[in-house]
Structure formats: structure tokens, C-alpha cells
């Protein structure tokens, strides 16, 4: 009987510890700043690379921190094509409520690339 009480006690203690940990994770997620991504567009473009014109693709996107104060975000722009996947990344401080238009140039794929798709992620940087 004493063993059953200990099992019930430790089972209850583990349950409470688990609930506390889940609560902390939910609280942390709710307090992290958010970033909104809109108006993503990919178009062909020409860039200067080592002093020479080079055709490629430009990904433009609008990002905004809808929160009331500035926050640091990690923005990753990805261009997927038949010739591979290419990334650009930057950490950018965004003021609250102010949209910004960002442009990323990708000179690696040729103009013959097909299946061109652009993606952008924007995530809060912890401690930023």
C-alpha cells in the first residue's frame, strides 16, 4: 500500500511538472514578436556581378512587425528552380507597425531555369 502511494505521488508530481513546462513554452511563444510576410514576387532581372551584367531573378517581399516596439528578426529568402535552391539570409531590426519592402537578388540560376518559386521566412531572434 505504501508503494502505491509513492507511485501516485510521483506520478502526480511528474504530471504537474509536465504541465508547468508546457505552460512555459506556450507563454514564451506568445511573448515572441511576430513578423508578417506579404506581396512576395519573383521576376527576372539583371545584376552587376564583378563589374559585368549578369541575368538572374529578383525576389521582392513586404515584411512588417505588427507589434508595438522594434524587434530583431531572421529573414531567409529562398529561390527554388530547376537548377537548384539558393538562399539569402539576414538579421534585420524592424520597427513596430512599419512595413518594409525587401529585395533579394539571385544571379546563380540562368535565364533558362524553370519551376521558379520564391519563399520567405521571417522569425523572431531570441534575445533580440
Q: 117 has which bridge partners?
A: 80
Question: Tens digit of pLDDT for each residue in 57-101?
Answer: 999 999 999 998 999 999 999 999 999 999 999 999 999 999 999
Distance, CA of 27 to CA of 108 (rounded, Å): 42
Kindly state the DSSP code that residue 16 receives in the 8-state scheme.
H
Across the beta sheet with 84-94, what order do the strands follow?
84-94, 71-81, 117-124
Q: What is the mean pLDDT of residues 11-29?
A: 63
Q: What is the mean pLDDT of residues 27-36?
A: 73
Assessment of whether the complete model's pTM goes beyond 0.95? no
Distance, CA of 58 to CA of 61 (rounded, Å): 10
Are the beta carbons of 116 and 79 closer than 8 angstroms? yes
Amino acid at each position: 500500500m505504501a508503494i502505491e502511494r509513492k507511485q501516485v505521488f510521483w506520478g502526480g508530481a511528474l504530471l504537474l511538472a509536465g504541465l508547468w513546462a508546457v505552460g512555459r513554452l506556450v507563454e514564451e511563444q506568445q511573448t515572441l514578436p511576430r513578423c508578417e510576410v506579404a506581396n512576395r514576387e519573383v521576376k527576372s532581372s539583371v545584376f552587376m556581378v564583378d563589374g559585368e551584367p549578369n541575368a538572374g531573378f529578383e525576389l521582392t517581399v513586404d515584411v512588417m512587425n505588427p507589434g508595438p516596439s522594434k524587434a530583431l528578426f531572421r529573414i531567409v529568402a529562398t529561390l527554388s528552380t530547376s537548377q537548384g535552391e539558393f538562399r539569402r539570409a539576414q538579421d534585420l531590426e524592424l520597427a513596430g507597425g512599419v512595413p518594409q519592402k525587401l529585395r533579394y537578388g539571385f544571379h546563380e540560376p540562368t535565364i533558362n531555369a524553370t519551376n521558379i518559386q520564391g519563399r520567405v521566412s521571417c522569425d523572431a531572434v531570441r534575445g533580440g
